[in-house]
Amino acid sequence: MPTLTDAYIVVVEDDPNALLVTMDLLRLGGADQCFSRKSADAALEFAEKLPQVDLFLVDINMPGKSGFELLEAVKKHPKLQTAKVVAVTAGTFEEDVQKAREAGFDGFISKPLKTTVFPSQVQRILDGESIWDWR
């Protein structure tokens, strides 16, 4: 199992402020291999060039392809299909969480991120735990 320090993490987020916070929290938590892209297409194209991807942290509502479409593309991709895909989003109604579960996301973390626990949540996901934190 990869640790936060050596895991390859791709953050897919179109909001610059949310992206900054997510990347800062990952780095403060010890993540060295975290990368970001502002769209699903750019993230997929970039991820193909990495030696591996352990985790995608994906905003659901983005212009262009949604987080659901990115999830679908990752699950079908021969090189990326083993990566975990976690929704990180502000849409936190119970039906949003249910929809994410049914679509096959490996977890759900609501925004605003809880700064004190976010890095440990990511590590727990890398360890194989399923995190559904939406309140």
Judged against a pLDDT cut of 80, whether residue 88 lies above it is answered with yes
Q: Which CATH superfamily is domain 8-133 in?
A: Response regulator (3.40.50.2300)
What are the sequence ranges of the domains in the chain?
Answer: 8-133
Kindly indicate the confidence band of residue 93, based on its pLDDT and cuts at 50, 70 and 90.
Answer: confident
Q: What is the rounded CA–CA span in Å between residue 27 and residue 24? A: 5
| Angle, CA of 84, 33 and 69, to the nearest 5° | 35
pLDDT at 1: 83
Q: Which residues pair with 56 in a beta bridge?
A: 10, 85
Reduced to 3 states (helix: H, G, I; strand: E, B; else coil), residue 71 is helix
User: Closest by alpha carbon to 58, among 77, 79, 72, 76?
Assistant: 72
